[in-house]
Amino acid sequence: MKSTLIYTTIAAASVLTVRAAATPLTAEDFCDIHVNAPASVKEMKPMPDGESYLCIGDDGKTIEKFSYKTGKKVATIFDVATLKGDVKISDFDGYEISANGRTLLLWNDTEGIYRYSFRANHYVFDIDRNTLKRVSNGGKQRGAAISHDGTMVAFMRDNNIYISKLDFGTELQITKDGAEGKIINGTPDWGYEEEFGILNTMRWAPDDSSLSFVTFDESQVPTYHFDIYSGYCDPVEEYEKYPGEFVYKYPLAGDNNSKVKVSTYNVDTRITKVMDLPINDTDYVPSMEYGGSPDRLMVMILNRDQNNLRLYAVNTGSTVARMILEEKSSAWLSPAAYQMVDYGKNGFVIGSDRSGYRHLYEYDYSGSLKRQITSGNYYVTAYYGQNPVTREYYFQTTQEGSTERNVAHSNAKGGVTMLHPGKGWESASFSSNMQYYVRTYSNAVTPPQYTLHSLKAKIADLELNEEYAAKYAGAPKREILSVPNADGQMMDAYIIKPAGFDQSKKYPVLTYQYNGPESQEVQNRWKIDGLYYFAQQGYVIGCVDGRGTGYRSRAWSDCVYKDLGRYETLDQIAGARYFASLPYCDADRLACFGWSYGGYMTLMELTANDTPFKAGVSMAPVTDWRYYDSIYTERYMQSPQQNAAGYDSSSTLPRTGNLNVPLLIMSGTSDDNVHFYNTLKYTSKLTSEGKLFDMMAWTGFEHSLRMCNARVQLYRKVLDFLDTRLK
């Protein structure tokens, strides 16, 4: 349901139009994600030299080189207007830097596939020669991966892998069994993209002598269909009279997944070998990278229950695999832990929750533990790398509390020091030599600030968002607090009080929730969205992270295992009762609102026997976990065949008889993640029972409603519903 973005289109940073602070804030100022976003710095891609980085120019048609030491521009290395040679382009959508720093991989004419994946026309730019070469003339490419030396590009087209040798102007097809709906080579299926965050499985050996890749056999995966309608937002003329159909392989919980295998292609011999790995038909391969040597491929194999992970070192020449690490859990293994892995020349660093908290461990390639890098009752939430000079490890941590993030470093003896102690939300982007970093910082009342640092001092302020802060200076503020859950344990929470708050008044209350496993809504960081719009219109907003959510401890998260919806509902109701008990809150005007997993929670909360809610809004909900994808659902519930009772008790459908308060339920008709069918199934049950409800559908919209002005409309609709139902 959530995924980590690994490879995506990069566009030039937008320019923020700032209004005077005195201008009244509108619904768009809170709800429109394009309007309410603070200014950010352009994406800074580190060069291999460690001393410079690249950014897209202000016009979006150039790539400029900057010095970390000074923060100043030193050169323009790419410009569409000054290209030499026969190949020209007028624009580009994104780029990557080859490992040797001499070439760039660029792409344009991007065409989206699923939520993050795309196909496009790719080009390779030689920085020294100022020349551009087209990767292929045979059609758009997906998952393009440039070799370390910049002379070759591997890509997928029509489910087969090709290698373009740029120096020779040749293109070689290295797989031939690819077929739509059956075999995918080199790029993942829908489930791996959405739930493991993988967009490309093609990996070049460190010396570019071979290319390893994963093949997905989805021939036995059930096919999902839904209609495509031509609406008025980005209309599709061919479907004006007769709807089209979106067809793809989507395994629901308990159904067949793709079968996978790992292969390696030798560039010189042109021979492809299947690696001798003990992968059975139900296993996943959630990670595959070369480990410090051209003949050492590190492959993770995860069982379908996702509670047993084995890491293998595979000799790509002999194909022999040797298991060097195994991790087990009594609940589930989190991808955020085991995908936090960094392979070096002599060993690797990997995250693990084995202690009950997420920490970093370093191993050599024989599988021996060299050291535990971090320890304690806190989480490591990101690993940035090791400084080759000081031998210190850099990472992000929750040491200041579960709602906080700080960047810290640890020495070989285990001592941990924060770079900038204090409350708030901090992250860092380091140079390739780990000598410089860009710090991003915000808190609940301070918009993001971007500053450039060396390890010893701040070099420059890049963007402080001062005008943006002035714009929202009079907006409602978020306060972080703790409230008791159903068992008396303290939950992280926040409250947003209405604009012009008056302690003597009684306000209606809206609680917002997500509460999916390992998720987190209560964060001491800047965020402006439609919830602030509701507060601006006179609502108290409350939110709690109940049991099952992340960054407290694995015991806090794991209690929902195989029993989704039970403890989360109890805790969300406990949080709502707390907010309703405050002297300025009106318990008779209490409502809840959630999106996706939060939409599911809304339906569970409204139908609880002791529900305190007078109305609720459910956006894009899962209504029965049998209708959601296998990877996400089975991670927390196992399969319906293994846990039928758990699926029955976690379903919203048997509880519809308890719905006795107004409900607004909404969804996009082209949601490829949480299918519209979930909403239709639930409302069909309500209709069969003679219950009245409000419903709204967005024609042709996906899960996140990012097209046109849909989010503004959504929050206006929710406000209208609440104002009407909570009178």
CA distance 230 to 226: 13
- State the pLDDT at residue 259: 98
> Which homologous superfamily does the CATH classification assign to the domain defined by 474-725?
Alpha/Beta hydrolase fold, catalytic domain (3.40.50.1820)
Q: How many CB atoms lie within 10 A of CB 658?
A: 12
pLDDT band at 1 (very low <50, low <70, confident <90, very high): low
Residues 368-388, buried b or exposed e (16+ Cβ, 10 A)? eeebebbeeebbbbbbbbbbe
Question: Where does the pLDDT of residue 640 fall: very low under 50, low under 70, confident under 90, or very high at 90 and above?
Answer: very high
Q: Above 90 in pLDDT, residue 706?
A: no
* Beta carbons of 439 and 428 less than 8 angstroms apart: yes
In sign, the C-alpha dihedral spanning 391, 359, 202, 135 is negative
pLDDT-derived band at 707, boundaries 50, 70, 90: confident
Instruction: Provide, rounded to the nearest whole percent, the portion of the chain with pLDDT above 70.
Output: 97
pLDDT at 19 over 50: no
Count the helices and strands in the chain (H runs, E runs): 12, 43
What pLDDT does 10 receive?
Answer: 26
CB neighbour class for 284 (10 Å; exposed up to 12, middle 13-18, buried from 19): buried
pLDDT band for position 13 (cuts 50, 70, 90): very low
pLDDT tens-digit map of 655-691: 999 999 999 999 999 999 999 999 999 999 999 999 9
- Residue 375 has what pLDDT? 96
pTM of the predicted model, to two decimals?
Answer: 0.94
Contact status, residue 591 vs residue 509, Cβ threshold 8 Å = yes
Is the model's pLDDT at 46 over the cut of 80?
yes
User: Whole-angstrom Cα distance, residue 347 to residue 368?
Assistant: 9
The residues facing 163 across adjacent strands are: 154, 172
Task: Report pLDDT digits (tens) over 202-233.
Answer: 999 999 999 999 999 999 999 999 999 998 99
**What is the distance between the terminal CA atoms of the chain, rounded to a whole angstrom?**
35
Q: What is the average pLDDT score of the chain?
A: 95
Q: What is the pLDDT of residue 7?
A: 26
Q: What is the mean pLDDT of residues 428-442?
A: 97
Residue 527, pLDDT score: 96
Please report, as a single letter, which amino acid is at residue 656. Answer: T
CA atoms within 13 A on the CB side of 208: 15
Beta-bridge mates of residue 452: 438, 460
Give the separation between CA 597 and CA 703, rounded to whole angstroms. Answer: 12
- Which helix (H) or strand (E) segment holds residue 686: the answer is helix 676-688
Residue 45 pLDDT > 90, yes or no? Answer: yes
- The number of C-alpha atoms within 13 Å of 174 and in the hemisphere containing its C-beta is 30
Note the pLDDT tens digit of each residue in 531-562.
999 999 999 999 999 999 999 999 999 999 99
**Residue 323: its pLDDT value, please?**
98
The ranges assigned to domains in the chain are 340-434, 474-725
Q: Which long-range contacts (CB under 8 A, 24 or more apart) does 723-727 make?
A: 723/537, 725/591, 725/614, 725/615, 725/662, 726/508, 726/589, 726/591, 726/614, 726/615
pLDDT tens, position by position, 440-479: 999 999 999 999 999 999 999 999 999 999 999 999 999 9
Contact (CB, 8 A) for 204 and 249: no
Strand ranges for 528-614 from DSSP E? 540-545, 585-595
| Cβ-contact 155, 168 below 8 angstroms | no
| CA nearest to 91, candidates 77, 76, 112, 109 | 109
> Are residues 350 and 361 in contact, defined by beta-carbon separation less than 8 angstroms?
yes
pLDDT in tens, 135-178: 999 999 999 999 999 999 999 999 999 999 999 999 999 999 99
The pLDDT of residue 12 is: 29
Beta-bridge partners for 314: 297, 321
